[in-house]
Structure 1
Amino acid sequence: MNLVVGALALFVSSFMADASHPGVAIAITKGDEVVAVRGFGHDSSGAPVTGHTKMAIASVSKSFTALAVRQLADAGRIDLDRPVFDSRVTPRQLLAHTSGLSDRTLPEKSLAQPSSPAEAVDRAREALRDARPDGRFRYTNTNYHLAARLVELASGQEFGSYLRDHVFAPLGMTETVAIAVTPRDLPPDFRKGYGYAYGVSVPLTEPDRFVAGSDGVVTTAADMARWLAAQPRLAPRDGMGWQADPQGRLRHSGIWFTATAGQLLTKSGYGIAVMSNSGVTLGNEGTYELENGIAEILDGGTPAEPSSYRLLLDLVLGAVTLLSIGLGVRALRRPRRFAKPWQALRFVPLGLLLALPVLLGLLYGGGRDITFFQLAHYSLPLVVWLGVSSVMNISVAVVRWRS
C-alpha cells in the first residue's frame, strides 16, 4: 500500500504541475472503508490544502440532490413518474436530463439569476409549459434547480436545510453545506478559487450564479470520503445524479469558473473524489484525467502521463494577439487603397467575438449557455485576441474607407 500511496502522490503532483492546478484534494474509499484523504498544494490564501479544506464540488452536487429526491420518493412524498409544475415533465426526467428542457430553451446563465428554488420555478414556467420530454439527454442545470424545489415542497424545508438534516448529518458530513447563490452564500472559511491566463493562476471570485440543487455543495475531502463510503448502501443508479462512462463506471464531473471536481466509482469497488481550486478554462475542462489515473493506479495499472494543452493554447493566443497588433499598426502606418467592399471582411473578428458565447456553447458544451463575463473567466486570452483584432481591423477599415 505504501508503494500505491507513493505512486498516487507522484501522479497527482505531476498532474497539478502539468495542468497548473494550485491546490487539489482527494478522497479514496474501498467499499465502505476510507483508504486515503489528502490535500496537495495550497489555497488562494497560501495555506496548504488539507483533507479539511472547504472546496466546491460544482455539479458533483447533483448526486446529492438526486439522493434527496429518492429519499422523498421512497417515503411516498414524491411520485417520480407524475408530471410536476403544471407541465409534462416528471421528477425522473428532471434527474435524468430528459425533461426536454435545455440551455437553449432556457439560457440559465444569461437570464437574471433567481435567489431561491421557488424563483427558479417561476423563471422556468414558460419553458416548462413548452417542454416535450422525448427521451433525449440534454444537460442543463435548470433540471436540478427544479428538483431542489421539489425537495422543498415535499419536505417543507428549505433545500439546503433538508440536505443538512437528511443527507449530510446522517453521513457525518459535518464540514459540508449546500448554498443557493455564489458568491453570496459561500462559507466565511471558504477561500477563492483560481482563474488562469497566459500561464498565471489568479485568485478570482466565482461569478454571481444560482446553484441550488445543481452545483452548490461546498465540502471537504474528509467529508467526500464519508459520502463515497456510503455509496454501497445508497446504491446509486445511472441517470439519477450519476452517469455511466464508456467503461461502465458511475461518475459525475463538476466545473465552476473557479473550481473543478469529479467523483468515480470503479468496478473493482473503489470510490474516488477529486477537488481542485482551479476553474474551468480552455484546455482545462475538469479533473476527468486525474480521476482516471488514480483509478488506474488503484487497480494495479500504469496511468497515462498527464498532458495539458492549457499553457500552449494561451501562449498561441497571446502570440496571435501580438501579431494582430503588429499587422494592424503596420496597416495604419502604411495605408493602401483596396476595393472598399472587401473592407467589410475586417468586421469578421468583431462578429466572431459577439457570437463567441453561442459558438463555444454549441461546439464544446452541446448548446450550453455562457455570458460574456463568464467567457472571460473561461478564456481571457481568447477574448483579448478577438477584442484586439476587432479594434485593429475596424480602425484600418475606417481609415481606408475614408482615404
Structure 2
Amino acid sequence: MNIWGAALALFVSTFTGEASYPGVVVAITKGDQVIAVQGYGHDSSGAPMTEHTKMPIASVSKSFTALAVRQLADAGKIDLDRPVFDSRVTPRQLLAHTSGISDRTLPEKSLPQPSSPAEAVSRAQDVLRSAVPDGQFRYTNTNYHLAARLVELASGENFNSYLRSHIFEPLGMRETVAIDVTPRDLPSDYRRGYGYAYGFSVPLTEPDRFVAGSDGVITTGADMAKWLAAQPKLAPRDGMGWRADSKGQLRHSGIWFTATAGQLLTSSGHGIAVMSNSGLTLGNEGTSALEDGIADVLDGRTPEEPGPYRLIVDLVLAALALSSLVLGIRALRRPRKLHKAWQVLRFVPLGVLVTMPWLIGLLFGGRDITFFQLMHYSLPLVVWLAVSGVMNASVAVVRWVR
C-alpha cells in the first residue's frame, strides 16, 4: 500500500471508530477512472464490508431520478418548464425543490404511505393544485416521488424498470436495484442497518416508508464507483439532483434511519461516494464530514480530526434523564408548598415530548417525522423527555392532592 493509500485507510478507519459506524464502504474516482473501492468494518450479520455489500444510498438516489428526467427531456418527451399534474409546478421546479410543496404542506412521512408513484401523485393532488412555486428552496421527498411518476408517464415504463434499463445497465451497475417501499422491497441479500443509543449500535429494520424516486436505490461500492466515473460525461447540473456546496463542489447527502450516504465531486476532479450502515441520529447527520476528510487526504491536506459526537450527545442525555429521575424522587419524598398555578409548569416536559416530532421538524427546515421514527433518531432524547415528563407530572399531581 502506498503512502496515500495508507493515509486514507488510517483516516477512514479512525473516523468510523470515532463516529461509531459499524460498517462503511468508500468509492473513489479520478475523472472517469476508478482508483479505489474499499469496505471497512462489518454488516449486521458480522460479515466484512466489501465493494459488493448491498447498501442504500438514501437521498443520493435523487441524482439518478434527476438523470432519468433529463434523459427524457433531451429526448423531447418531457418539457422541463411546462407545468405538470394539473398544477403550476414544472419538472424543473420539482427537481430543484422550488415547487412550493414542502413537508409542512404535505407531511410525507406521517401520512399513510403510498405504494407506487401513481399513488404518490394521488396523495399529493390537492397540494399540487394549491402549490405556488415562488423560487424558494423547500426540500421534500414528495418532489421526487412526483418526478418518478413523471418518468413513468413520459416513458411508458415502470420507474424502477426505467432506471434499470436506461441507467443501471448502460453504466454496468449490475448489482444495483431501485425499490418502492421499505422494508418490504429490500433485496434478499440486503443486511439491516443499525440504530445507535448510549454507545451501542443495534441492528434495526428501516421503518415503513415510500422511497421511489426519492431514496430507493440500493447499490454497492463497486457500482457507485461506476456511477461516479460516468459523471464527467453525464454533466450533472446544480439544482437537478446535485447541489453546489460552499466550495462550489457538487454533492448530495442521503439519510435513512438505519443508514447514511453521500457523494461528492471535488474541484480537483475526484469523485467520492460513502455509504454507512449506521442511521441518522443526534450527532450523526450524515457522511459529509467523512467525504470532506477523504477529499482533504486526496488533495494533500490534513483532514479535521473526527470526534465521538454521538456518544457525547447520548451521555449528556443519559445524565439529564438520571438527574430528572433523582430530582423527581426527591421532590416526591420532600414535598414543598408551591402555588398551584406554578405546578402547571411541571407539565411542560410532557408537552415537549408530545410535540417533539414537530419541534425536530422545525430544526430541519420543517421536515416531517413520526414519533416512531423519532425513537430511531434519538432514543436517549425520548427517554430523557419521558422520564422528566412523568416525574414532573407526578410531583404536580401529588402536590395538588396534598
**For the superposition of Structure 1 and Structure 2, which TM-score range results when normalised by the shorter chain?**
over 0.9
1:228-284 deviation per Cα after TM superposition (whole angstroms, max 9, x unaligned): 000000000000100000000000000000000000001111000000000000000
Does residue 4 of structure 2 align to residue 4 of structure 1?
Answer: yes
Q: State the 1:177 CA deviation.
A: 0.4
Equivalent AA in structure 1 for residue 289 of structure 2: E
Q: State the 1:359 CA deviation.
A: 1.1
| Distance in 2 between residues matched to 1:255 and 1:2, nearest whole Å | 33
1:180-239 deviation per Cα after TM superposition (whole angstroms, max 9, x unaligned): 000000000000000000000000000000000000000000000000000000000000
Provide the residue aligned with 1:386 in structure 2.
Answer: 385
Does residue 270 of structure 2 align to residue 270 of structure 1?
Answer: yes
SS at match of 2:170: helix
SS at match of 2:254: strand
| Distance in 1 between residues matched to 2:218 and 2:315, nearest whole Å | 33
| Distance in 1 between residues matched to 2:147 and 2:188, nearest whole Å | 27
Provide the residue aligned with 2:285 in structure 1.
Answer: 285
Provide the residue aligned with 1:38 in structure 2.
Answer: 38
| Distance in 2 between residues matched to 1:360 and 1:316, nearest whole Å | 18
Provide the residue aligned with 1:158 in structure 2.
Answer: 158
Maintained 8 Å contact 1:349/1:389: yes
| Distance in 2 between residues matched to 1:121 and 1:152, nearest whole Å | 12
Q: State the 1:336 CA deviation.
A: 2.2
Equivalent AA in structure 2 for residue 399 of structure 1: V
| Distance in 2 between residues matched to 1:338 and 1:402, nearest whole Å | 12
Equivalent AA in structure 1 for residue 88 of structure 2: R
Does residue 68 of structure 2 align to residue 68 of structure 1?
Answer: yes
Q: State the 1:302 CA deviation.
A: 1.1
Provide the residue aligned with 1:54 in structure 2.
Answer: 54
Provide the residue aligned with 1:184 in structure 2.
Answer: 184
> How many residue pairs are counted as aligned between the two chains?
402
1:121-145 deviation per Cα after TM superposition (whole angstroms, max 9, x unaligned): 0000111111000111110000000
Provide the residue aligned with 2:216 in structure 1.
Answer: 216
Q: State the 1:378 CA deviation.
A: 0.5
| Distance in 2 between residues matched to 1:39 and 1:80, nearest whole Å | 39
Equivalent AA in structure 1 for residue 155 of structure 2: S
| Distance in 1 between residues matched to 2:72 and 2:143, nearest whole Å | 17
SS at match of 1:382: helix
Maintained 8 Å contact 1:22/1:41: yes
| Distance in 2 between residues matched to 1:366 and 1:13, nearest whole Å | 32
Q: State the 1:332 CA deviation.
A: 1.4
| Distance in 1 between residues matched to 2:338 and 2:303, nearest whole Å | 56
| Distance in 2 between residues matched to 1:284 and 1:197, nearest whole Å | 12
| Distance in 1 between residues matched to 2:40 and 2:306, nearest whole Å | 16
1:140-170 deviation per Cα after TM superposition (whole angstroms, max 9, x unaligned): 0000000000001111111111100100000
Provide the residue aligned with 1:376 in structure 2.
Answer: 375
SS at match of 1:206: coil
Maintained 8 Å contact 1:284/1:308: no
SS at match of 1:358: helix
Identity score, percent: 78
SS at match of 1:80: coil
Q: State the 1:335 CA deviation.
A: 1.9
Q: State the 1:387 CA deviation.
A: 0.6
Question: RMSD across aligned C-alpha pairs, in angstroms?
Answer: 0.7
Provide the residue aligned with 1:304 in structure 2.
Answer: 304
Provide the residue aligned with 1:395 in structure 2.
Answer: 394
Deviation above 4 Å: which 4+ runs of structure 1? Answer: none
| Distance in 2 between residues matched to 1:335 and 1:23, nearest whole Å | 50
| Distance in 2 between residues matched to 1:235 and 1:5, nearest whole Å | 28
| Distance in 2 between residues matched to 1:233 and 1:170, nearest whole Å | 13
Provide the residue aligned with 1:139 in structure 2.
Answer: 139
Equivalent AA in structure 2 for residue 141 of structure 1: N
Normalised to the residue count of structure 1, the TM-score between the two structures is: 0.99
